[in-house]
Chain A
């Protein structure tokens, strides 16, 4: 069974750093692109970008370029989303997901989400 299990909810202060994780199982992790999607409270879905789990190629949404970093640890089938300095506006639910394949990047499996709250 394909699963993407994300790390737990986080409460942080503005200016703090954060790294959340997404562990894949039930499929060959390194053959897929892992997508990150943001959903602000009560809002729609925002595609943040993706990372190729087998080679670390990345593509960021222009609106988020430089604000977050994607990474992967192939040895433990885990992808990460990282912030150096959080802002209150980063408060949101963050989903990791699996893109079907390189030429068809629709999302076929989703993680359960990690809620990030940034507040002073």
Chain B
């Protein structure tokens, strides 16, 4: 199984500041045949199901604010929120879908400082 490791486990950022969450996979999730990274990011607010933010490591899902961006390739990935808003308080998960089981990271809890 591919192990996904997120850091930090929790993060407190001031409103309007940048938040950065890291995700590392135990093996590459890049398919050389199509040069795509099989990596997604989700946001989960309390009492709600997760919501897709980013897929293919850097493609924003329709309707997701452009302050959210994803980057990285191979085994190292980053989710960046450029200017934190109050509504961004949530737990964020990365997931690889390169090979089953499609494993998730353990989550990063984002709070307001």
Residues in A lying within 8 Å of B, measured CB to CB: 35, 44-47, 49, 59, 61-63, 95, 97, 100, 104-108, 110-113
Contact = CB atoms under 8 A, between A and B. Distances in A.
B49 A113 contact: yes
Interface string B30-53: 000000001010101000011110
B106 A104 contact: no
A59 B1 CA distance: 14
A111 B101 CA distance: 20
A45 B97 contact: no
B93 interface: yes
A interface SS class: strand
Chain B interface residue bracket vs A = 20 to 34
A115 B39 CA distance: 28
Interface of B: 1, 38, 40, 42, 44, 49-52, 55-56, 61, 93, 95, 97, 100-107
Given A62-B1, A95-B49, A104 B101 contact: no
Contact of A45 (B52, B56, B100, B107): B107
Contacts of B101: 47, 49, 61-63
B49 A47 contact: no
A45 B100 CA distance: 15
Contact of A108 (B44, B52, B93, B103): B52
A55 B21 CA distance: 38
Contact of B61 (A62, A95, A105, A108): A108
